[in-house]
Amino acid sequence: MPFNKDSLKIDAAKETDRLCEAIVRQTRKFMKKGAVVGISGGIDSSVVVALCARALGPQRVLGIMMPESESSSESESLARKLGDKFGFETMKEVLTDALSGAGCYQKRNEAIKSVFPEFDDSWSCKITIPSNILEKETFNFFTLTIAKGGESKSKRMPPAAYLQVVAASNYKQRIRMTTLYYHAEKRNWLVAGTGNKDEHEQGFFVKYGDGGADIKPIAHLFKIQVYQIAEYLGIPQEIIKRTPTTDTYSAEVTQEEFFYGLDFYRMDMLWHALELNVPVDEAARVLGLTPEQVGRAYSNIKRKIDATEYLRMHPLMADE
């Protein structure tokens, strides 16, 4: 089928059945009896927990909310709504003390202060990448922004500060993983990961953090396909309409601002075109872009995939 605007439309009913069959098969393969899912009130975790409940029965699914002091307050109420709708048990584990104990906030703030000495708890912070990837062939470099009241300041991050901010922030995803495995192992259940294809293949996850799971039911689905499954499953509209965020930094930052540099529809369509080796002229015509814009997007996506290959690799043995 030639590349067109509907190239990523899926038969949501058929795909849902296929994913449910896979969840059952894989749960049996691992000789586990149920699934634990970290739920954030976001679209991906909502779809995964709903699929698990449908596949295994809601009595064999546990959705765990894991907020910390900087989490969005909206996440918990949306996650509970999901539990009410699909009948699975929900539980909340507040991770603030664990993260404080590990030095997550202190280590991150120390790095931020090296860039903005005035930074303290009265400021919020976020990291973003350039958002004009269609307009300019640019490197993906990171800008730190702090904000307080109506004031905000931004600066490109020196490498040491960037690495320390990310390493410290990654405690959040890794302690969440640890928490999920506690509850899974206590029940002899498995952990179902919630990453989609965009996250998995472009490396928007933390190794052994949110990347740590036993099964990954939607890691092959483009984000816009996850939405199709969500509609089919009847995920609450407040969750479907919510803008995907990182929910990692104290200032709200969308996934587009933090990592992708492009809205999901164009990202997914351009990436799919790249996978199909669609010539830039043809992709441009279908998507209403210029060939130069398509070329820049192709280049940006390829670079991200190549640079993050190590995240998807298993630990290497001596002979590898």
Partner 1 sequence: MAAIDQNTVRKDLRDFIIENFMVGSENETLHDNDSFMERGIVDSTGVLELTSFVEEKYAFTIEDDEMLPENLDSIDNLVKFIQKKLN
Stretch that binds partner 1, among 129-137, 216-224, 225-233, 268-276 (CB under 8 A): 129-137
Nearer to partner 1, 158 or 234 (CB): 158
Q: Binding residue for partner 1 (CB under 8 A) from 69, 141, 234, 281? A: 141
Q: By CB under 8 A, how many residues form the interface with partner 1?
A: 19
Q: Binding residue for partner 1 (CB under 8 A) from 61, 133, 157, 206? A: 157
Residues 6+ apart with CB under 8 A from 226: 43, 44, 47, 196, 218
Does 142 contact partner 1 by CB under 8 A? Answer: yes
Which strands make up the sheet holding 124-128, listed edge to edge?
124-128, 143-148, 151-156
Are residues 259 and 204 in contact, defined by beta-carbon separation less than 8 angstroms? yes
Does 318 contact partner 1 by CB under 8 A? Answer: no
Residues 6+ apart with CB under 8 A from 234: 85
Does 303 contact partner 1 by CB under 8 A? Answer: yes
Does 291 contact partner 1 by CB under 8 A? Answer: no
Nearer to partner 1, 93 or 110 (CB): 110
Does 139 contact partner 1 by CB under 8 A? Answer: yes
Please give the Cα distance from 116 to 114 (Å, whole number): 6
Does 152 contact partner 1 by CB under 8 A? Answer: no
Are residues 181 and 166 in contact, defined by beta-carbon separation less than 8 angstroms? no
Q: Residues 160 to 189: which contact partner 1 by CB under 8 A? A: 162-163
Question: Least distance in Å: CB of 275 to partner 1?
Answer: 19
Are residues 143 and 251 in contact, defined by beta-carbon separation less than 8 angstroms? no
Q: Which two tokens stand for residue 195?
A: 């990453």
Which residues make beta-bridge pairs with 61? Answer: 35
Question: Least distance in Å: CB of 117 to partner 1?
Answer: 18
Does 295 contact partner 1 by CB under 8 A? Answer: no
Question: Least distance in Å: CB of 289 to partner 1?
Answer: 20
DSSP string over 61-92:
EEEEE---TTS-THHHHHHHHHHHHH--EEEE
Are residues 253 and 126 in contact, defined by beta-carbon separation less than 8 angstroms? yes
Q: Binding residue for partner 1 (CB under 8 A) from 156, 185, 234, 243? A: 156
Which residues make beta-bridge pairs with 60? Answer: none
Does 140 contact partner 1 by CB under 8 A? Answer: yes
Does 130 contact partner 1 by CB under 8 A? Answer: yes
Which residues make beta-bridge pairs with 154? Answer: 145
Element (H, E) at 190: strand 190-191
Nearer to partner 1, 227 or 259 (CB): 259
Nearer to partner 1, 140 or 237 (CB): 140
Q: Using CA atoms of 217, 218, 221, 224 in order, give the dihedral in degrees to the nearest 10.
A: 150
Q: Which two tokens stand for residue 20?
A: 């449910």
Question: Least distance in Å: CB of 64 to partner 1?
Answer: 32
Question: Least distance in Å: CB of 262 to partner 1?
Answer: 16
Question: Least distance in Å: CB of 161 to partner 1?
Answer: 9
Question: Least distance in Å: CB of 138 to partner 1?
Answer: 6
Contacting positions for partner 1 (CB under 8 A): 129-130, 136-143, 156-159, 162-163, 303, 306-307
